[in-house]
A and B are shown apart, each in its own frame.
Chain A
């Protein structure tokens, strides 16, 4: 076989191989095409399935969203219940939440009044303000019917519903389309009706909305009842607080008076006070004492302020102690002076003697104090005190305005006591004739020159008790 022949045969084999290859390639490309088609079909299916799945997810998402909104709504009413204690504000909150949750244009809340009618408490949305306090008969209109039957209701087109009362729309200019209305119940008793009007972004509310709205109204009822109970409790607590306060005030005053006024007088005054007659006061017999330190003002000007205060503290404490020990009352401090009142405990009590004894003791005590101060505080060691006492009828009672009252004694005899003190020589106790009359058996005193007192024609006879 020639080489040419061999080459020809090889070429033939190669051509045959190429044909095989072509067939194979064609076959492969067909397979590929089919595979591709299959892939496309699969892709399409996948897309559909993805679409379906997405749809499912979207749907379940919506249900979930609905549920979340539901829970959030109930939660908000519940938390409103805790935070909104005032009923009016609670009702507004209920409507605000209802509108938001139900995605409604307007909302209103009506409460049953004692006469059985429903009254608009809250009405939001265009023209809502005009509805406030408007009344509806139970059984009339949609709210009225809900209040009567206790059944929640859903209306898709209000103007096609014979129950719908157009007069409110006419009043407000608002156009009602869809409505959800649910009763507000407290322990099975219908206390009102809550409504949401016109679903936003949709023709009407659906049954799911109705269900949600019903449970919402249930929560609202609980919140309202709680608010009512809270307000009741609050009012009771306030009453109680006031009663306690009143009692406390009276008892303080009684204590204060009892200290220097006989029980029957105090009781009398207390009663008067309760009858708001206290301003008048009551006339009683008393011995009034005034004290003053001679030249204290000029001394205090050269003394260090702190020392003045320290001194006054020690001095006033010591004097008050003696006055109280003699069952007198420090009525007031007047600068470095003291006004004290001694009131007889009963008919036989010699309060004038107690006052005079107090005066004598006070002068003695000041002398003692001066002795002590002599070592350290030379500037106050030379202090002298004047004491004046007068006995007679005074007016005892609360002086001042109704809100700020001081129990004290006033009257001409108080002025006389003050006047006597002013003419008293330092270190002495000066007493009026009327006081002297009561103590002359126990005390020795020197008669002084009669003293002229403002508003008195007769000069007042005075006596001086020398202590040091």
Chain B
């Protein structure tokens, strides 16, 4: 996993909780990297899982909830650092539908060793978008947080329904997004 995700995560922990907690989960996680992440580096994805798990223990907040709020935080950071992906995009659905065919494609150009999920889209109703998440990694909660962050960003309220279809080594989650009041 790219260092950018780790540094953003630790930054969030420092901001939302404290430097002390950040230091403590790093220490407790017994990380190979020692918790020193640079955005261009690549690290074991287990480190993020251990960090999140430690944070959960530290704070008593469930891992999914933590990943989800990290997703919201991350989306805000993405907006700051990659605002060109937002040019000409007016709705959350528009943005979300750009991930698979455009955003993550560009991400892969920037970080050729990035490990990205795949998304399938289903859409028949303008007020509904179905996104199916496929990944070798268990980050469906992160995805949900990113989706929620995206809706926040566009000032929309989305009902997010999840249907887990994961099996063996693949995480597969069907997100049904419905615009509220739309």
Query: Using Cβ atoms and an 8 Å threshold, which residues of chain B touch A21?
Result: 38-41
Which A residues are CB-close (under 8 A) to B40?
21, 24-25, 28
User: Which of these, B7, B20, B38, contacts A1 with CB under 8 Å?
Assistant: B20
Do A13 and B36 touch (CB < 8 A)? yes
When chains A and B are docked, how far (Å) is the Cα of A108 from the Cα of B41? 85
Once the chains bind, are A17 and B37 in contact (CB under 8 Å)? yes
- Identify the closest chain B residue to A27 (Cβ): B40
Contact partner of A6 (CB less than 8 A), chosen from B20, B39, B41, is B20
A16 neighbours in B (Cβ, 8 Å)? 34, 36
- Report B2-34 CB contacts with A as 1/0, cut-off 8 Å: 010001000000000001101100100000001
Tell me which residues from 131 to 178 in chain A have a Cβ below 8 Å from any Cβ of chain B. none
Cα distance A168–B19 when bound, in Å?
111
* Set of chain B residues within 8 Å of A246, measured between Cβ atoms: none
B23 cross-chain contacts in A, Cβ below 8 A: 1, 6, 9-10
Chain A residues lying within 8 Å of B20, measured Cβ to Cβ, are 1, 6
Set of chain A residues within 8 Å of B26, measured between Cβ atoms: 13
Closest chain A residue to B6, Cβ basis: A17
What sequence of 0s and 1s flags, for each residue 8-26 of chain A, a beta carbon within 8 Å of any chain B beta carbon?
A: 0110111111101100110
- Give the interface SS of chain A, mostly helix, strand, loop or mixed: helix
CB of A302 within 8 Å of the partner chain: no
Return chain A residues, CB-CB under 8 Å to B37. 17
Chain A: CB-nearest residue to B35? A13
**Interface status of A334 (Cβ within 8 A of chain B):** no
Contact B34–A20 (Cβ < 8 Å): no
Question: How many angstroms between the C-alpha atoms of A25 and B39 in the bound complex?
Answer: 11
| Chain B positions within 8 Å of A25 at CB level | 40
Determine whether A314 belongs to the interface, using a CB cutoff of 8 Å to chain B.
no
Known: A1-B20, A6-B19, A6-B23. A14 touches B36 (CB 8 A): yes
Size class of the A contact interface (CB-based, 8 Å):
10 to 19
A20-B41 in contact given A6-B19, A6-B23, A10-B19 (Cβ < 8 Å): yes
Cβ < 8 Å to A, chain B residues 103-154: none
- Return chain B residues, CB-CB under 8 Å to A457: none
Q: How many residues of B contact A (CB 8 A)?
A: 15
* Whole-angstrom CA separation of A15 from B38 in the bound complex: 10
CB contacts under 8 Å to B, within A1-51, are 1, 3, 6-7, 9-10, 12-18, 20-21, 24-25, 28
Cα-based distance from A21 to B2 in the complex (angstroms): 12
Complex interface: chain A residues within 8 A of B7 (CB): 17
Partner of A24, one of B19, B35, B36, B38: B38
Chain B positions 68-124 with a Cβ under 8 Å from a chain A Cβ? none
B38 touches A13 (CB 8 A): no
Expressed in whole angstroms, the Cα–Cα distance for A13 and B7 within the complex equals: 11
Q: Which residues of B contact A1 (CB under 8 A)?
A: 20, 23
Task: Write the nearest CB–CB distance from B43 to chain A, whole angstroms.
Answer: 10
Separation of A18 and B37 alpha carbons in the complex (Å): 8
Report yes or no: A13 in contact with B34, Cβ–Cβ below 8 A.
yes
- For residue B39, which residues in chain A have a CB less than 8 angstroms away from its CB? 21
**A7 in contact with B38 (CB, 8 Å):** no
Docked pose: A12 CA to B37 CA in angstroms:
11
In the complex, which residues of chain B have a beta carbon less than 8 angstroms from the beta carbon of A28?
40
B34 touches A24 (CB 8 A): no
B106 to chain A, nearest CB (A): 19
Tell me how far the C-beta of B31 lies from the nearest C-beta in chain A, rounded to whole angstroms: 10
| Assembly CA distance A6 to B22 (angstroms) | 10
Please give, as numbers and ranges, the residues of chain B lying within 8 Å of A9 by CB-CB distance.
23
Q: Is the beta-carbon distance between B38 and A18 smaller than 8 angstroms?
A: yes
A23 to chain B, nearest CB (A): 9
Contact for B41 among A10, A12, A15, A24, CB less than 8 A:
A24
Question: Complex: how many Å from CA A9 to CA B19?
Answer: 10
CA distance A16 to B26 in the complex (A): 14
Distance from A35 Cβ to chain B, minimum over Cβ atoms (Å): 13
Query: Which of A6, A7, A17, A28 gathers the greatest number of chain B CB atoms within 10 Å?
Result: A17
Question: Could you tell me the distance between the alpha carbons of A17 and B35 in the complex, rounded to whole angstroms?
Answer: 9
Asked whether A20 lies within 8 Å of B19 as measured between CB atoms, the reply is no
Name the residue among B22, B34, B38 with the largest chain A CB count within 10 angstroms: B38
CB-CB < 8 A to B19: which residues of A?
3, 6-7, 10
Q: Which residue of A lies closest to B42 (CB)?
A: A24
Query: For residue A14, which residues in chain B have a CB less than 8 angstroms away from its CB?
Result: 36
- Chain B, Cβ-Cβ closest to A7: B19
| A18–B3 CA distance with the chains assembled, in angstroms | 12
When distances are taken between beta carbons in the complex, the residues of chain B under 8 Å from A20 are 36, 38, 41
**Residue on B nearest A14 in the bound complex, by CB:** B36
| Chain A contacts for B34, CB-based, 8 A | 13, 16
CB distance from A414 to the nearest CB of B (A): 122
For A10, the closest partner residue in chain B by CB is B19
Chain B residue with the shortest CB-CB distance to A9: B23
Interchain CA distance A92-B36 in the complex, whole Å: 95
What CA separation (Å) do A9 and B22 show in the bound complex? 11
Give the complex CA separation of A440 and B40 in angstroms. Answer: 153
Nearest A residue (CB) for B14: A10
Q: Please measure, in the bound complex, the distance between the C-alpha atom of A443 and the C-alpha atom of B28, giving whole angstroms.
A: 173
The residue in chain B whose Cβ has the minimal distance to the Cβ of A12 is B36
Give Cα A14 to B39, complex, Å. Answer: 12
In the bound complex, residues from chain B placing their C-beta under 8 Å from that of A13 are 26, 34-36
User: Please, which residues of chain B bring their CB within 8 A of the CB of A17?
Assistant: 3, 7, 36-38, 41
21 A-B contacts, Cβ less than 8 Å apart?
A: A3-B19, A6-B19, A6-B20, A6-B23, A10-B19, A10-B23, A12-B36, A13-B26, A13-B36, A15-B36, A16-B34, A16-B36, A17-B38, A17-B41, A20-B41, A21-B39, A21-B41, A24-B38, A24-B40, A24-B41, A28-B40
5 smallest beta-carbon distances between A and B, as pairs: A16-B36, A21-B38, A17-B36, A13-B36, A17-B38
Given contacts A1-B23, A13-B34, A17-B37, 10 further A-B contacts (CB under 8 A): A1-B20, A6-B20, A6-B23, A9-B23, A10-B23, A12-B36, A13-B26, A13-B36, A14-B36, A21-B41
